[in-house]
């Protein structure tokens, strides 16, 4: 029986040689080809638009991408295959103004034995209606892969760099004189920062190609960044930057070697853009994010909205409404005037520009933010699941177990659209939800102190204990 292929939070992912196989990639490529031929608009001469296929640095990503492009060509689709590994933001950028759709072979931040496929349309992740239509086409037609139908190959990364430079970079960036340490985590973003900063200001870690990612999951979370933190302090650098495997997520470390949570990064950047760049519009974040943006929106009278986890939900809002700033908890950021998709490089360069424009150290920027909006201690705890869970059923069962008062504060609200988020009367909160990409139950919490945040995490784990592996 053929494996069931489903799109999750961000694309289709699977274990290489288990469910991410050439046979299954061929099935997915044919479904994509059928969708493109049925839905892509032709010009006045009847010519179909171009499609881009890219790949990251994972094991055999280039070969999987070549097979996808070959199948597209066999189905009479005008396709360009990247000749070099690229990041997901490159694919997103190319889908914005040069190609109708971009496909990239990547499993983002997943461990090295995973691979996957992401789809980009109009500069962002394909919405759920598109991925559902593609799933419906799986197996409808036999795979068409004709001998000799090889795609053209090009390196189009310069188009992305030009886009970033024209949309995100100001002259103030040139005023930055400090050094930055960049942990590329062996991913596809290797060398990207050096396109915008002199090489003498960049200390690169793990820029070489290693499909095993050095034995570490290429996810820019604190537990994976000990070398980055130590190097920042040892080299007296102004900032540490870490990219995930496909370059759309980013993490920052200040000059003291302190890891910043996405909540802290988003707060500093969003507050600066509103105050100094006159950014205006809605603020949208995934439900797994914290209260700093809510407080910023409250201060400036901006509409604030929380959506399901997965940046594609933020991107949908950015395409439909006047969204000023969008963010997800795993390190994905975007704002008006740039790609409607997360882009680690754009965020990193924007933060460096903020430091240059204000003349302040990274730690000073967060200290100022804390004085104005309060301290944020945000943590996540992952627990292995015994079995897959229905989010709606889980949310309702957890809701009934929750006390009416937690950490001395009344429960103000409970959100149940993506797991259960319990919000207290002082904005502090707890979220319990199954991961959309891994067999894990994720528990998130944010308060003003480490002690209270850990207490919320413990409460979440205790409440959800019966659903987890022992």
Domain that holds residue 291: 261-342
- Would you state the structure tokens that stand for residue 99, as one six-digit string? 């190609």
> Among 56, 66, 61, which residue's Cα sits nearest to residue 16?
61
Q: What is the pTM of this model?
A: 0.92
Structure tokens at 450: 């480490």
Query: Which of 259, 274, 309 lies at the terminal end of a domain, its last residue?
Result: 259
* Residues 234 and 267 both lie in one domain: no
120 domain residue, yes or no? yes
- Within this chain, do residues 143 and 40 fall inside the same structural domain, yes or no? yes
Instruction: Give residue for tokens 């990274």.
Output: 362
**Which among 95, 125, 160 is the end of a domain?**
160
Return the CATH number at 330: 3.40.120.10
Asked, for residue 324, whether it belongs to a domain, the answer is yes
Residues 193 and 279 in one domain: no
Residue 405 in any domain: the answer is yes
Residues with pLDDT less than 50, the chain: 1, 470
Same domain, 19 and 103: yes
* CA 1 to each of CA 19, 24, 174, 195: distance values in angstroms, whole numbers, following the listed order: 12, 12, 58, 48
- Determine which helix (DSSP H) or strand (DSSP E) holds 459, and give its type and residue range: helix 450-463
Bridging pattern class, strands 101-105 and 250-253: unpaired
Residues 191 and 150 in one domain: no
Q: Give the DSSP letter string of 248-304.
A: S-EEEE-TTSPEEPHHHHHHHHHHHHHHHS---SEEEEETTS-SHHHHHHHHHT--E
Q: What is the pLDDT of residues 393-415, one digit of tens each?
A: 888 889 998 999 998 999 999 99
Last residue of a domain, one of 280, 315, 342: 342
| Domain of residue 382, CATH code | 3.30.310.50
Q: Are 65 and 105 in contact (CB under 8 A)?
A: yes
- Residues whose CB falls within 8 Å of the CB of residue 215, separated by 6 or more in sequence, listed in order: none
Torsional sign, CA 130, 133, 139, 140: negative
Task: Flag whether 240 is in a domain.
Answer: yes
317 and 442 share one domain? no
| 141 lies in the same domain as 18 | yes
**280 and 252 both lie in a single domain:** no
Nearby residues of 383 by Cβ (< 8 Å), 6 or more positions away: 440, 441, 443, 461, 464, 468, 469
Q: Is residue 66 part of a domain?
A: yes
Q: Which run of H or of E encompasses 233?
A: helix 226-234
Distance CA 205, CA 186 (A): 8
Residue 165 lies in a domain: no
**pLDDT at res. 267:** 97
Say how far apart CA 22 and CA 267 lie, in whole Å. Answer: 43
Query: 311 lies in a domain?
Result: yes
Is residue 80 domain-shared with residue 199, that is, in the same domain? no
| pLDDT tens, residue by residue, 149-192 | 889 999 999 999 999 999 876 778 888 999 999 999 999 999 99
If one counts the domains in the chain, the total is 4
Report the side by side order of strands in the sheet with 332-335: 304-307, 282-286, 323-328, 332-335
Residue 134 and residue 34 share a domain: yes
With vertex at residue 156, the alpha carbon angle to CA 154 and CA 162, rounded to the nearest 5 degrees, is: 160
pLDDT value at residue 1:
41
Is 209 in the same domain as 286?
no
Q: Let me know the angle formed at the C-alpha of 14 by 8 and 17, rounded to the nearest 5 degrees.
A: 165
270 within domain boundaries: yes
Domain match, 135 and 74 both: yes
Contact 240, 347 (CB under 8 A): no
């Amino acid at each position: 029986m053929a494996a069931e292929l489903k799109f999750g939070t961000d694309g289709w992912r699977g274990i290489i040689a288990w469910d991410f196989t050439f046979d299954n990639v061929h099935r997915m490529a044919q479904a994509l080809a059928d969708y493109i031929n049925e839905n892509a608009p032709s010009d006045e001469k009847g010519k179909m638009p171009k499609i881009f296929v890219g790949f990251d640095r994972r094991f055999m990503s280039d070969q999987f991408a070549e097979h996808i492009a070959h199948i597209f060509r066999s189905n009479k689709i005008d396709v360009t295959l990247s000749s070099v590994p690229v990041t997901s933001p490159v694919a997103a950028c190319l889908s914005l103004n040069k190609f109708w759709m971009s496909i990239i072979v990547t499993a983002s931040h997943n461990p090295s034995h995973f691979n996957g496929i992401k789809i980009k349309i109009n500069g962002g992740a394909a919405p759920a209606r598109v991925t559902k239509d593609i799933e419906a086409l799986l197996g409808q037609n036999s795979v068409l892969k004709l001998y000799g139908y090889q795609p053209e190959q090009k390196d189009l990364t310069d188009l992305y760099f030009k886009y970033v430079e024209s949309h995100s970079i100001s002259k103030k960036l040139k005023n930055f004189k400090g050094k930055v340490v960049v942990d590329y985590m062996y991913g596809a973003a290797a060398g990207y920062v050096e396109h915008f900063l002199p090489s003498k200001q960049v200390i690169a870690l793990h820029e070489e190609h290693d499909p095993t990612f050095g034995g570490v999951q290429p996810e820019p979370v604190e537990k994976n960044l000990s070398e980055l933190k130590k190097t920042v302090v040892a080299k007296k650098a102004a900032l540490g930057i870490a990219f995930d495997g496909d370059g759309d997520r980013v993490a920052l470390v200040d000059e003291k070697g302190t890891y910043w949570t996405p909540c802290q990064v988003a707060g500093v950047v969003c507050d600066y853009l509103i105050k100094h760049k006159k950014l205006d519009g809605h603020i949208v974040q995934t439900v797994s994010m914290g209260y700093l943006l809510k407080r910023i929106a409250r201060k400036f009278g901006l509409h604030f909205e929380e959506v399901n986890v997965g940046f594609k939900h933020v991107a949908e809002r950015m395409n439909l409404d006047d969204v000023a700033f969008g963010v997800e908890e795993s390190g994905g950021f975007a704002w008006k005037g740039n790609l409607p998709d997360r882009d680690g490089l754009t965020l990193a360069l924007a933060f460096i520009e903020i430091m240059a424009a204000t003349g302040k150290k990274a730690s000073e920027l967060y200290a100022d933010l804390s004085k104005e909006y309060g301290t944020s201690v945000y943590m996540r705890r992952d627990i292995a699941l015994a079995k897959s869970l229905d989010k709606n059923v889980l949310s309702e069962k957890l809701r009934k177990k929750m006390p009416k008062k937690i950490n001395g504060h009344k429960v103000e609200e409970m959100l149940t659209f993506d797991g259960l988020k319990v919000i207290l009367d002082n904005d502090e909160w707890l979220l319990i939800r199954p991961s959309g990409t891994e067999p894990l139950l994720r528990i998130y919490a944010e308060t003003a102190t480490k002690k209270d945040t850990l207490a919320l995490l413990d409460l979440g784990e205790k409440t959800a204990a019966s659903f987890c592996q022992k």
